[in-house]
């Protein structure tokens, strides 16, 4: 029997996907499990939950829901990859900007050095021209510059020789200063040229780094764009799948209604049989009590009759004993009279015989008392876990429709009418009878698949039936008596089921109740 009143799509599928569609902001990366086994078990449980929550869907709707779930699962990783790519773009851009700034600074330094070298070259050229003029004039005047000759001639005409010599010394110092400036400019030019070479090498290196950074930036931008397209594709696909599921809403509601009707019909049949079972049990109890009362009355009458007969027999025995004693006394008196004249020996013998005669009565044996073994009673329902492995993937109870999702049943939620045991997507685990009883159903249905239902009779005053659904196969038949723990079938995925699991139900007095309270 398929799970009762499934009135909405899987919360894991619809809720997660629609929330992702409504909120397109980047999601924080999901922390990985510390151990691979923990992660594997978590994935298996999520798979079991998804499979069991979609039992009422047909193949096409299941495929669409699977697509929606796939988009939901891939979207966080894609968004995380997009976020990482964008961070890489930003990092590469920052590096390019930094290198560009350094190149600009180095270029400015190069321009400044080049400008300084131009100015120094102009000064050096002026100095070379001045030295050349001095050398030319000195050659023409026999080794004396025109300035010195002019000063000597002027002083010879107007002043003393001492004044002329002073002026001559001043002129020589001026020429030496020009020569010193020229030498200093040569040294400065060498240093400036070395600085220029170093700056040019730095610029070349920075440009190489900048070009590599630009390549990385472009690669990061390409990856970011590809990630963005992937995210957009996932969102578009999820939107398309959601719209398709919305379009199939009437079909889903019809399937839910069909499933509910099938479930209600089976429960009604079980309820009728359980009520008949309760009536039969009550009738048996009434007959047993009536028979017990009749037996007690018969026993009482028999006891009274036996007591009366015993009393009559005792009275007759007492009368008989009294008559015998009276006759004996009469006979003894007569004999005594007749033998009065007997000799002393006869009297002595008669006297000894009389003394030795004793009345005796047998001792009554005390009646033995029997022992009775107290009967044991228990308040337990006597049910045990129907599987030796697996874990519960879906519990019993009302499940409200999550906010922002589609309420296909229009009732605000649905009831999961049992406990589901999952086995990590694996079929074939053995299923055992939770208690002894009679197999009422061992059959196949479109929604429940291969199912077995066992009546455990009246327990604690209530009729109890257990159900085992979606079996790959069963090894019992209707009407068969089974014992607690007996193998009845194997876990499967038949009927409206998309994954290996076993749905376990308990029906008490014709109503589906939570198995957890009875196990």
CA angle 170, 175, 176 (to 5 degrees): 95
Quote the longest CA-to-CA distance of the chain: 235
Indicate if the pLDDT at residue 139 is higher than 60.
no
**pLDDT value at residue 103:** 72
Q: Mean pLDDT, to the nearest integer, of 236-251?
A: 74
In the chain, what percentage of residues exceed pLDDT 90?
A: 16
Q: Range(s) for CATH 2.70.70.10 in the chain?
A: 381-390+411-518
> First and final CA of the chain: distance in angstroms?
20
Confidence category of residue 63, pLDDT binned at 50, 70, 90 = low
| DSSP letter (8 states) at residue 387 | B
**pLDDT value at residue 325:** 76
- The position carrying tokens 């257990």 is 466
Of the listed ranges 345-349, 419-423, 490-494, the least confidently predicted one is: 345-349
Cα distance between residue 421 and residue 418, in whole Å: 10
Per the structure block, which two tokens stand in for 40? 């594997």
Highest mean pLDDT among 62-76, 227-241, 303-317: 303-317
Indicate if the pLDDT at residue 155 is higher than 50.
no
- Which among 504, 502, 501 is positioned nearest to 424, based on CA atoms? 501
**pLDDT value at residue 172:** 56
Cα distance between residue 504 and residue 453, in whole Å: 10
**pLDDT value at residue 355:** 66
Contact 182, 135 (CB under 8 A): no
Confidence category of residue 27, pLDDT binned at 50, 70, 90 = very low
- The position carrying tokens 């028999």 is 302
Contact 482, 436 (CB under 8 A): yes
Q: Mean pLDDT, to the nearest integer, of 86-92?
A: 76
**pLDDT value at residue 18:** 35
- Which among 77, 11, 3, 5 is positioned nearest to 49, based on CA atoms? 11
Which residues have C-beta within 8 Å of that of residue 437, sequence separation ≥ 6?
454, 455, 456, 457, 466, 481, 482
pLDDT 10s digits, 406-416: 666 677 777 88
**pLDDT value at residue 492:** 94
**pLDDT value at residue 431:** 96
| β-sheet bridge partners, residue 492 | 501
Residue 413 half-sphere exposure, CB side, CA atoms within 13 Å?
A: 10
Q: Mean pLDDT, to the nearest integer, of 84-96?
A: 76
Q: Mean pLDDT, to the nearest integer, of 215-229?
A: 75
Confidence category of residue 379, pLDDT binned at 50, 70, 90 = very low
DSSP labels, 10-30:
-IIIIIHHHHHHH--SPPPPP
Q: Range(s) for CATH 1.10.287.620 in the chain?
A: 47-146+167-252
Confidence category of residue 418, pLDDT binned at 50, 70, 90 = very high
pLDDT 10s digits, 94-122: 777 776 777 777 777 777 777 776 776 77
Report the sign of the C-alpha dihedral through residues 492, 495, 501, 502, in that order. Answer: negative
Indicate if the pLDDT at residue 313 is higher than 50.
yes
**pLDDT value at residue 64:** 66
Confidence category of residue 3, pLDDT binned at 50, 70, 90 = very low
**pLDDT value at residue 507:** 93
Helix (H) or strand (E) holding 386: none
Cα distance between residue 63 and residue 66, in whole Å: 5
Contact 488, 476 (CB under 8 A): yes
Cα 380 to Cα 282, 438, 519, distances in angstroms: 21, 19, 9
User: What does DSSP say about strands 437-445 and 413-416: parallel, antiparallel, or unpaired?
Assistant: unpaired
Contact 52, 499 (CB under 8 A): yes
Which has more pLDDT, 356 or 36? 356
pLDDT 10s digits, 430-458: 999 999 999 999 999 888 899 999 999 99
The full length of the chain comes to 519
Average confidence score pLDDT of the chain: 71
Which residues have C-beta within 8 Å of that of residue 174, sequence separation ≥ 6?
147
Angle between helices 344-356 and 249-338 (to 10 degrees): 170
Confidence category of residue 338, pLDDT binned at 50, 70, 90 = low
Q: Mean pLDDT, to the nearest integer, of 378-384?
A: 73
Cα distance between residue 151 and residue 229, in whole Å: 91
**pLDDT value at residue 365:** 38
- CATH superfamily of this structure's domain 381-390+411-518: Glucose Permease (Domain IIA) (2.70.70.10)
**Where does 47-146+167-252 sit in CATH, by number?**
1.10.287.620
């Amino acid at each position: 029997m398929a799970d009762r009143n499934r009135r909405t799509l899987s919360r894991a599928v619809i809720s997660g996907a629609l929330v992702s569609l409504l909120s397109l902001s980047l999601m924080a990366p999901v922390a990985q499990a510390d151990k691979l086994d923990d992660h594997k078990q978590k994935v298996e449980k999520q798979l079991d939950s998804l499979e069991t929550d979609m039992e009422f869907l047909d193949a096409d709707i299941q495929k669409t829901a699977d697509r929606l779930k796939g988009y939901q699962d891939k979207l966080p990783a894609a968004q995380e990859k997009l976020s990482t790519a964008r961070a890489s773009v930003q990092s590469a851009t920052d590096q390019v900007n930094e290198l560009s700034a350094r190149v600009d600074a180095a270029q400015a330094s190069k321009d400044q050095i080049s400008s300084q070298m131009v100015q120094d070259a102009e000064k050096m050229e002026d100095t070379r021209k001045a030295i050349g003029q001095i050398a030319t004039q000195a050659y023409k005047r026999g080794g004396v510059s025109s300035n010195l000759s002019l000063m000597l001639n002027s002083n010879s005409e107007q002043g003393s020789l001492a004044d002329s010599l002073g002026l001559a010394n001043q002129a020589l110092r001026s020429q030496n200063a020009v020569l010193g400036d020229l030498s200093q400019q040569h040294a400065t030019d060498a240093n400036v040229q070395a600085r220029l070479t170093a700056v040019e090498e730095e610029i070349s290196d920075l440009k190489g780094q900048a070009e590599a950074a630009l390549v990385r930036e472009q690669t990061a931008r390409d990856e970011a764009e590809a990630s963005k397209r992937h995210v957009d594709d996932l969102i578009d696909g999820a939107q398309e799948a959601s719209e398709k599921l919305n379009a199939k809403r009437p079909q889903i509601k019809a399937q839910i209604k069909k499933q509910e009707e099938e479930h209600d019909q089976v429960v009604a049949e079980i309820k009728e049989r359980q009520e008949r079972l309760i009536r039969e049990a009550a009738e048996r109890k009434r007959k047993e009590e009536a028979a017990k009362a009749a037996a007690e009355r018969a026993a009482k009458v028999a006891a009274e009759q036996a007591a009366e007969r015993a009393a009559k027999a005792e009275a007759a025995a007492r009368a008989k004993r009294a008559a015998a004693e009276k006759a004996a006394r009469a006979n003894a008196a007569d004999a005594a009279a007749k033998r009065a004249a007997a000799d002393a020996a006869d009297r002595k013998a008669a006297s000894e015989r009389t003394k030795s005669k004793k009345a005796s009565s047998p001792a009554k044996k005390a009646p033995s008392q029997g022992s009775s073994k107290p009967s044991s009673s228990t308040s337990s329902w006597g049910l045990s876990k129907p599987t030796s492995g697996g874990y519960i993937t879906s519990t019993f109870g009302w499940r409200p429709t999550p906010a922002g999702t589609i309420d296909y049943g229009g009732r605000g939620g649905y009831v999961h009418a049992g406990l589901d045991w999952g086995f990590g997507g694996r079929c074939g685990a053995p299923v055992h009878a939770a208690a002894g009883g009679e197999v009422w159903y061992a059959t196949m249905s479109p929604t429940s698949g291969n199912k077995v239902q066992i009546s455990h009779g009246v327990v604690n005053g209530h009729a109890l039936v257990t159900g085992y659904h979606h079996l790959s196969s069963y090894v019992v038949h209707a009407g068969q008596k089974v014992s607690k723990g007996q193998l009845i079938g194997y876990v499967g995925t038949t009927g409206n089921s998309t994954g290996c699991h076993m749905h376990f139900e308990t029906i008490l007095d014709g109503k589906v109740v939570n198995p957890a309270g009875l196990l």
